[in-house]
């Protein structure tokens, strides 16, 4: 697939590494039936450019390029109070000399605090122009449009970026990642049995599915839900993958069976900690020195651990965990991730 016909800003001057995790794999195997488990590798998209890395960078390479091509001067996006996506969008805006505004959806009542640590601190430090909070379940498209209209009234031109940067243009970032993975596996002589990725707003998961189909990469991609269980998540990912394929002109229908989702690891609510997340964050930190965040990657890794303990993979099979970043929000949950998970939902 030729991505060169789409405008793109390059924020990462290198290929993110793929690394084995032998100590983590050994610890995981020890907790699996029979003491055997998969060989787990990690794709370090937490090291992507735009402070301090993460999957949104790949999407923003195409989204910001589109905004610049349209002559926009302000990026407007939406996210939760500790949104990694908002932080990296702001980082891209600063780098490009643009202004940036947020619509913050307070998905859990009482969690929006302008003086909070984590990403809220980063928002203030990097100079977000404005934040407007709305209650959970608000019409976010309408809220974004209100911001665009307000900018237009000032003679400015805004560019709306949806939650997580997840639309067909943003999904191109993970088509590019699919191509990157394919070349890395060839160069490394590495054959993987499955890729585990987070599945939320679906730009990453859907983009990878489209990229794997378009490049004929015969490796299953399983998404661990961070806000929905499969009955609700699969249609979201399928729509995103199809939209990306259509934008690329691939002339193919995405098979429903190409979209695999796993639920049960995000409860009790999006962004609310649970004991399995705490175990996953501690386990990876203490075996490989790799840090996860409590909202996304911690719960995704909890899903990988749970699948391994449930016998999804045989001994010696190779599984790739796509690390999508999120480090700053970890600091907003310090007492929780240093605890033993007591009192938290399973």
pLDDT value of residue 12: 96
- What 8-state DSSP symbol labels residue 208? H
pLDDT value of residue 109: 82
pLDDT value of residue 180: 98
In this structure, what is the dihedral angle of CA atoms 204, 208, 209, 215, given to the nearest 10 degrees? 160
pLDDT value of residue 326: 86
For the chain, the structural domain boundaries read 18-54+167-337, 56-165
Write out pLDDT tens, residues 199-211: 999 999 999 999 9
Domain 18-54+167-337, CATH: 3.40.50.1100
Confidence grade of residue 333 (pLDDT, cut at 50, 70, 90): confident
d(CA 187, CA 309): 31
Phi and psi at 196, nearest 5°, equal -110, 125
Residues 208-230 have a mean pLDDT of 97
pTM for the complete prediction?
A: 0.94
Burial class (CB in 10 A: 0-12, 13-18, 19+), 167: buried
Active-site residue list: 83
Query: Which string of b and e fits 111-147 if b means at least 16 CB within 10 Å?
Result: bbeeebbbbbebbeeeebeebeebeeeeebeebbeeb
Of 253, 170, 241, 251, the closest CA to residue 211 belongs to: 241
d(CA 40, CA 139): 40
d(CA 193, CA 319): 6
Measured distance between the N- and C-terminal CA atoms of the chain, rounded to whole angstroms: 43
In CATH, what class is 56-165?
Answer: alpha beta
- What 8-state DSSP symbol labels residue 274? B
Maximum separation of any 2 CA atoms in the chain, in Å: 66
Average pLDDT across the chain, whole number: 95
pLDDT value of residue 331: 80
What's the token pair of residue 36?
């055997």
What's the token pair of residue 134?
């709305």
pLDDT value of residue 110: 82
Write out pLDDT tens, residues 137-162: 899 999 999 999 999 999 999 999 99
Confidence grade of residue 327 (pLDDT, cut at 50, 70, 90): confident
What's the token pair of residue 174?
């993970």
Phi and psi at 103, nearest 5°, equal -105, 115
pLDDT value of residue 179: 98
Query: Mapping DSSP to helix (H, G, I), strand (E, B) and coil, where does residue 129 land?
Result: coil
**Is the pLDDT confidence value at 332 over 90?**
no
Confidence grade of residue 17 (pLDDT, cut at 50, 70, 90): very high
Confidence grade of residue 72 (pLDDT, cut at 50, 70, 90): very high
Q: What percent of the chain has pLDDT over 90?
A: 87
Write out pLDDT tens, residues 258-271: 999 999 999 999 98
pLDDT value of residue 7: 97
Residue 72 makes CB contacts below 8 A (sequence gap 6+) with 98, 157, 158, 159
Contact 294, 265 (CB under 8 A): no
Instruction: Find tokens 């229908």 and name the residue.
Output: 253
Work out the number of other CB atoms within 10 angstroms of the CB of residue 161.
Answer: 29
Handedness of CA 52, 54, 56, 62 (dihedral sign): positive
Write out pLDDT tens, residues 234-248: 999 999 999 999 999
Write out pLDDT tens, residues 271-315: 899 999 999 999 999 999 999 999 999 999 999 999 999 999 999
pLDDT value of residue 59: 97
**Is the pLDDT confidence value at 330 over 90?**
no
Write out pLDDT tens, residues 100-122: 999 999 987 888 888 888 888 98
pLDDT value of residue 111: 83
């Amino acid at each position: 697939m030729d991505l060169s016909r789409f405008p793109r800003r390059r924020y990462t001057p290198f290929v993110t590494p793929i690394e084995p995790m032998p100590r983590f794999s050994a610890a995981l195997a020890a907790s699996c039936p029979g003491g055997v488990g998969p060989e787990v590798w990690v794709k370090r998209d937490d090291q992507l450019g735009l402070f301090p890395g993460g999957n949104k960078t790949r999407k923003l390479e195409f989204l910001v390029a589109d905004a610049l091509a349209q002559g926009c001067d302000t990026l407007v996006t939406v996210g939760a109070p500790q949104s990694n996506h908002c932080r990296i969008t702001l980082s891209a805006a600063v780098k490009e000399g643009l202004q940036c505004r947020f619509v913050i959806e307070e998905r859990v009542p009482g969690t929006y605090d302008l003086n909070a640590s984590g990403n809220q601190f980063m928002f203030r430090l990097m100079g977000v122009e404005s934040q407007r909070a709305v209650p959970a379940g608000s019409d976010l498209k309408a809220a974004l449009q209100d911001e665009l209209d307000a900018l237009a009234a000032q003679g400015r031109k805004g560019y709306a970026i949806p939650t997580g940067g997840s639309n067909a243009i943003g999904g191109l970032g993970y088509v590019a990642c699919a191509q990157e993975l394919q070349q890395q596996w060839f160069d490394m002589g590495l054959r993987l049995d499955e890729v585990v990725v987070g599945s939320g707003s679906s730009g990453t998961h859907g983009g990878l599915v489209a990229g794997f189909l378009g490049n004929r990469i015969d490796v299953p991609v399983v998404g661990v839900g961070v806000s929905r269980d499969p009955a609700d998540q699969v249609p979201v990912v399928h729509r995103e993958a199809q939209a990306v394929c259509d934008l690329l002109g691939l002339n193919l229908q995405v098979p429903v069976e190409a979209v695999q989702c796993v639920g049960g690891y995000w409860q009790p609510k999006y962004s609310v900690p649970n004991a399995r997340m705490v175990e996953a964050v501690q386990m990876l930190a203490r075996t490989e020195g790799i840090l996860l965040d409590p909202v996304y990657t911690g719960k995704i890794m909890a899903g990988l651990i749970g699948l391994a303990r449930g016998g999804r993979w045989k001994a010696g099979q190779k599984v790739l965990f796509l690390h999508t970043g999120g480090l700053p929000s970890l600091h907003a949950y310090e007492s929780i991730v240093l605890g033993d998970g007591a009192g938290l939902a399973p």
